[in-house]
Amino acid sequence: MTKTKTRKTQKTMKKMSGPTPRRKAPVMSNLDQAAAEYAQLLADPCNANLTRTVWPGAGGAFVGRFEYDSIIGNDAVSTNTTILFTPALCGGTSGVLANSVPSATDTSAWNLTLPLGAPGTSFLATTDQFRPVAACAEVYWPGTELNRSGIVSLGVVDTGLINTYSAGNLGSTAIFRQLCQHTERMPVNKATVNWRPGNADQDTLQSVASANFYGHQSILITASGFPVNTGIRVRLVVVMEWWPKAGTGFVSAVPRSVSKTSVQEVLTALDRTGNWLFNTYEKARPYLNGAARVVNAVTYGAKTLGPALLAI
């Protein structure tokens, strides 16, 4: 009697518990090793191991990480500012454009024409050609906690939409803020935004003059309502594929097999993990670990490139 009751009880409990839930497929399972490496770099351009893009035509290229740090808008009259960071144009003077407005409001009209130093500009000018791999921007509050005020907006936009404002059209911080996808109060630690490559960013450039602005993607930053003599501190990071000029002492890197995965598949895999573009310094690890652990549902055995400035 006891055994019969035990069997019936087990069957009843099994029916009540329902079918065993199936495990979800890992978000990166559709990426090969090279694509997973690139996804990790896109999601963490400041710290991830250097690797190439999944775009074709990378034979002979090197990869380098460059950065630029500056305080913008820290004059006696400015209370808001806008910064346009275009990774594809970092080989010239248009890589970073900015303007700070001497007004108590953010609606004053001005041209986005002031060129700032861009990451890697001096070095990229010595190369034969280049194209962006990954990029990010970080915004810090340079003032005291007592005076911390204002809002910061971050976005990724088509370069052509903003370039018209550096060619005679008048814009304002309020106008540019509407193109951003994320807004927050002036951060305690930092606000971050990752770059998302566009269709034209796979084209190699030999100079800024050879760029067709539409199709390239830029990082857009605005800040409003901060005190005078304060501004915002920005750190801009870009990872570039570059090809050396003859006679510069570099031996062309040995071509390696490229990924069969398209850049859109890489971006789709990242999108499945959640919002990977903004403030990833706090929430990046879950999907970065997913990219590092799983490729085609097997253990990920990526070659370690290390933190060196060059990777081939």
What pLDDT sits at residue 102?
64
**Tens of pLDDT along 243-254?**
988 888 888 777
Q: Does the domain formed by 60-245 have CATH 2.60.120.20? A: yes
Sign of CA dihedral 231, 232, 233, 236: negative
**Tens of pLDDT along 102-160?**
666 788 888 888 888 899 999 998 888 899 999 999 999 999 999 999 999 999 999 98
CA angle 274, 279, 280 (to 5 degrees): 60
State residue 173 phi and psi, 5-degree precision: -60, -40
Rounded CA-CA distance 154/197 in Å is 16
Q: Where in the chain is the domain with CATH 2.60.120.20?
A: 60-245
Q: What is the pTM of this model?
A: 0.80
What pLDDT sits at residue 311?
38
Rounded CA-CA distance 65/35 in Å is 19
Neighbours of 293 (CB within 10 A): 13
Q: Is the predicted pLDDT of residue 285 greater than 60, yes or no?
A: no
Please say whether the beta carbons of 172 and 57 come within 8 A.
Answer: no
